Amino acid sequence: MFTRGRARGSLALHCGLAAAMAGACAPSDTPPQLSEGGAAAALAMAKPTFTATGELQRPEGYREWVYIGTPLTPNELNPPEAPFPEFHNVYIHPADYAHWKNTGEFQDGTVIVKELVTVGSKQAVSGNGYFMGEFVGLETTIKDAQRFADEPGNWAYFSFGHAYPLAETAPALPTASCNTCHDASADDDWVFTQYYPVLSASKGGTGTTADAADAAPTQQVSTAAAQALTGDDDVPTSADALFEYLQAGKYTSFAREAEAHKSVGPHPSPDLVAKSTVRAYFNGPMDASLKAGNATHPKGSAIVKEFYDDNDQLSGWAVAVKAEDDSQNGQGWYWYEVLSTTDGSSPVAADKGVALCWGCHLTGRDFVLSSYP
Ligand code: HEC
Ligand code: HEC
């Protein structure tokens, strides 16, 4: 909290958000000093530009933007070693933050910066913990409908390195390296707003108080719709019946993802994920609930996910069925996975509350990780 207060305070002090957005703080040639005077604040207002060859110039002045959070994935929780064990300090440009607050949307041109900071000390007078050390890396994402017309959501991703000195410029990274994971798992327009309460609590266009804004799009599907679980929508929650149901293809008329794609998760299994593709199908209640943007889904909502092998042959399924009114931390969901289309006798999972499954799906919207619709 205090860092956010400081960033906002310094904006007000040096320039003023309104003045900055009205263009009263023109960019200057002053180097990126992070503290003193109006010039630095003015520079902080400048968005990064592109080189003639389309590479992104390293952003500057972003430590004076709006600070939205610090996810941390320490080695201790990701043995033996996390891919990014550092703090991820995330900032959004003030004009983009203002737009988000007013409308609940990321405007075209939105810039978000993630600065990596090493874990320094693990001990302080306040106790044991994780304390920030040195700046060590920088990544950026930009939404630009014209420049990145072909990128999903028009978001492109850039890395300026994971060790100092950082690169001066960076090319947009391939869709599969970055965008695909954001696409599948981020809550809001490719951004992981679920980990940035500063954003979720300020999301505009949906309510007046912070909490209402956070929880706004949660109107439940009508009880009638939830109860209309007839025929194909009624996905069985016992292993044998479900395998028969899957073999008979009773889910194939559901709303589904446009095409099979690589799993950004471990599906169908960690050793097969590189060679396989997946495609998810959503039964009526689940489809309606996801389209309504509900925070929780009605009992009976179900997703069937097909696995395809490297010859594009169907090779198995994963299924999640909300079996209770309350998700109960994953205990209320029935989880099923089988890596065969001919033999249902040894499913990988077939039970309510399978920890292997819900432990990962916990980060989703009521346990659903797909970005559909
Ligand atoms: C395995 C999934 C995954 C991949 C691949 C991935 N990211 Fe992310 N990214 C995340 C998660 C989760 C967060 C939020 C939490 C965190 O920072 O750990 C995030 C946050 C970010 C943010 C902050 C803004 C936001 O959208 O939340 C930026 C910028 C970013 N990533 C850039 C990149 C770049 C650049 C790449 C490719 C080199 C990349 N990401 C690849 C999962 C991923
Ligand atoms: C390491 C994390 C992880 C684990 C463990 C995991 N999943 Fe997933 N799962 C994902 C991700 C990420 C997606 C999003 C779509 C994709 O790219 O595969 C997903 C998608 C799904 C879907 C499609 C619906 C949705 O939420 O998007 C089903 C069904 C599913 N998983 C079932 C299971 C079952 C059953 C298990 C346990 C056997 C399981 N998952 C274990 C990460 C995980």
Radius of gyration of the chain (CA): 23
Position 357 scores a pLDDT of 85
For residues 363 and 370, the answer to whether their CB atoms sit within 8 Å is no
Domain co-membership, 208 together with 246: no
| End position of a domain, from candidates 212, 245, 266 | 212
- Asked whether residue 310 carries a pLDDT value surpassing 50, the answer given is yes
What ligand 1 atom has the least distance to the C-alpha of 177? Answer: 37
Please name the amino acid found at residue 96: D
Residue 155 belongs to domain with CATH number: 3.50.70.20
Q: Is 16 exposed, middle or buried, given 0-12, 13-18 or 19+ CB atoms closer than 10 A?
A: middle
Residue pair 285/233 in contact (Cβ under 8 Å)? The answer is yes
Same domain for 165 and 267? no
| Mutation to probe ligand 1, out of 78, 154, 178, 191 (largest number of atoms < 8 A from CB) | 178
Q: Provide the sign of the torsion angle of the four alpha carbons 62, 63, 64, 70, taken in this order.
A: positive
Atom of ligand 2 nearest to the CA of 320: 29
Return the pLDDT at 42. 60
Confidence of residue 213 (pLDDT cuts 50, 70, 90): very low
Helices (H), 222-269: 223-227, 239-247
Cβ of 371 less than 6 Å from ligand 2: no
Mean pLDDT of 21-27: 36
pLDDT, position 343: 92
291 C-alpha to center of ligand 2: Å?
Answer: 19
Pocket flag, ligand 1, residue 263 (CB < 6 Å): no
| CB of residue 319 inside a 6 A radius of ligand 2 | yes
Same domain flag for 247 and 201: no
Which ligand is closest in space to the CA of residue 278?
A: 2
Write the DSSP string, 153-222. Answer: GGEEEEE--SSSSPPSEEPPPPTTTTHHHHHHH-SBTTB-GGG-HHHHTT--SS-SSHHHHHH-S-PPPP
Q: What pLDDT is recorded for position 7?
A: 34
Lowest mean pLDDT among 18-27, 260-269, 285-294: 18-27
Q: Is this model's pTM higher than 0.75 or not? A: no
Q: What is the pLDDT of residue 38?
A: 52
Taking the C-alpha atoms of residue 68 and residue 365, their distance in angstroms, rounded to an integer, is 20
Q: What is the pLDDT of residue 315?
A: 92
Answer with the one of 190, 212, 234 that is the final residue of a domain: 212
Q: What is the mean pLDDT of the chain?
A: 82
Q: What is the mean pLDDT of residues 189-210?
A: 81
Range of the domain at 290: 218-361
Question: How many whole angstroms from 358 Cα to the centroid of ligand 2?
Answer: 9
For 298-324, b where at least 16 C-beta lie within 10 A, e where not — what string? bbbbbbbbbbbeeeeeebbbbbbbbbe
**Does residue 298 fall inside a structural domain?**
yes
pLDDT tens string 63-122 = 999 999 999 999 999 988 988 899 999 999 988 998 999 899 999 999 999 999 999 999
Residue 230 has pLDDT above 90, yes or no: no
- pLDDT tens digits, one per residue of 328-348: 888 899 999 999 999 999 999
Question: Is it the case that residue 14 has pLDDT exceeding 90?
Answer: no
- The answer, yes or no, to whether the previous bond of 32 is cis (omega within 30 of 0) is no
Asked whether residue 347 falls in the same domain as residue 234, the answer is yes
pLDDT band at residue 244 using 50, 70 and 90 as cut-offs: very high
Determine whether the shortest distance from the Cβ of 177 to ligand 1 is under 6 A: yes
Mean of pLDDT values over 39-54: 78
Q: Is 330 in the pocket of ligand 2 (CB under 6 A)?
A: no
- Same domain for 233 and 190, yes or no, is no
